[in-house]
Chains A and B, each alone.
Chain A
């Protein structure tokens, strides 16, 4: 009987972080329990109905390369796909899918229910069992106890959630769902640093009340991309279009007239909202010189008329929301199905986490998702995968794993969070990644699948398909280096539009910006190869110089970056560090010298003092950097 209540890993929460955490844990071979308030909302997209985008599809493809569910679910639910930055280089290209909310939930639930070693239970969690600074299990609101040496908390905006519409406010984790206040109170008793963040959502609109006739239609891209390395176009449901409209001066006047009843501007909301996803009232106030803002009208799904007007997130009172919506072209007679709202919620200082996402205050307890101050489904899922995997590994007595900044956007995300913390909901952008030319969405599998296989979270099927792709890329690459064309080769010269002055290898020709590998191959009569093979060889050649330079940079700083700092080091005993620096280092407890240097306020002088200290202790065999 007790066996039924005993697991290796317990995951609390069934959102994007929770489902990936539970799946990764179970794939890694740990017996896993997923506890959720409501099985019907597993994989719920509570904000905009889209997966991916700039910086975000990089995360989705990395999750996919490590055997996660998000990309496959996005392909099964995607009703409109676009490639962003398609005219810029491959390193900054991104894929975005508008997803049918219901299809997405179905896809996630299907994957969760069919995962070997994963049990589901519908019950909210009120308390954690903690003994001697270690988590040992959880207590549910029915009074049931479940035991495990590791627990992953992924409770999103449900901790102390407070929903604002105008001056009205009510407790809630998401419109229509109860918050987890008992758990929030319990966590506030533990030595975690808690703060408040804010996010918002726009009113939803009944599509039958919208006049599309004068609105710009935005169809999906052709050729249509897929999100997962394993998917094909056959996995996609029916495709639909999005539309674009704009706010007007009249809209802005209505907003300005309602500001006195805005919880944001009256001081009701304490939490800090994201700079990149401002509410419409924020945009009108901060950028008063702009007389129009763009709105993307996104379908919520194939089986509903509801629309998501992306760009008018608001917490203004309902009567103002109605007027502002109806001042927008195409929305003159619009019917609002759900009001927009702002939500404030608790998050925990992420600088108190280790790279494994285990908390430093309670052993065996992991945090993932919005609880760590991030926003976005993709950011949550990425953390969930890492936390779930590491919880499983700890229960199996194995070392934790977290990718480095130079290996994955997941590594950038976690390093940023645990090193710099965040004062606004953290969202991924490609500009956060210094090794952007290496960390591309097209090569996430080449960067991570082999590691995922070693970690035991990549299936046989995915591994076989990856190996085949990798072999074909290697073969083609070798072949192109060894195959030469001579001056006078008419086909090649016609393709280049100029005569060859000497002998060239195909590899060298492929470095030229305008040359496509597929065209080179067909010109010399080579058999046709799949696009995902020629594409990789082409990108490798075009970026080669830059990739070599970035790899050099990574190698150069590696020795110092990776040098481990003891987690129990008290920085106050080191002479010469300013009080401010000591405080920051003691707060973050960096796990490496590199991480210490990335903490804001930790000067190069402070890092060299640390180096000197470690050298004096005989812990570091390095020369002092100039």
Chain B
């Protein structure tokens, strides 16, 4: 039993994360203050949410790199509507990007299924189509000056504390949303029939086909799911930054893929868990935060970041191969 738990990617990653935290704490005790941790969690909620969507696609054996464009289009349409009509209801604003995300995801799924072209090619093309169209229509114009409630919502906290300087800080609503989505994704993947089918398709697509699964339905689900989460993430990104720029999110695909793969998702499909991906995002977030707290020169940031990711990914891959070997012997 203990052996089974100890061999899991999540446990291994959690261990690495704890060691990293202790090191950062020794270098600068401010790292482990509630205020800093709450800030880090809030700042990374956008990344955290889209990484969960990417996980589901990766588990199914697919890949989606167009989600940055989907999130951008979704948030841009929302931004245009709420600034033009000065929409006071945050809930209504929240509802705008979601159907856009789902629709664009469905478009991806349709092309992936019908053309049988590798999803990397389909989604890279669609990244350019979605983003290109947005640039043509929007002329790259930035959107800012949102209605008051939208500005206040970004500061909303589920748990509020007051620092010694009298400034309130706490657990942001966006962090809660991120963790709730992680939990929901876990439930879907683990307990719903569609979730099991996603693993089955990713594990062995031919077997899934012969077992009579409706492959298109599963693909439709995974690409719509990442579209759905991209819509939510687009909202979160706009609220956090109080500005929508068409070129702010596009280009960050690799950050998200790195976090998902670091968290144990396999590019070959069939493996990965929401908890692992949350830990993967936290791992990258802690390093980024820690580099400034350690007062490291920015010239070194990329080098250190790259080295640590390579190291973690190598160890993780090694550990996974050990696990596979062990399974074969059982």
Binding partners A and B: no
Q: Chain B: residues with CB nearer than 8 A to chain A? A: none
Q: Chain A: residues with CB nearer than 8 A to chain B? A: none
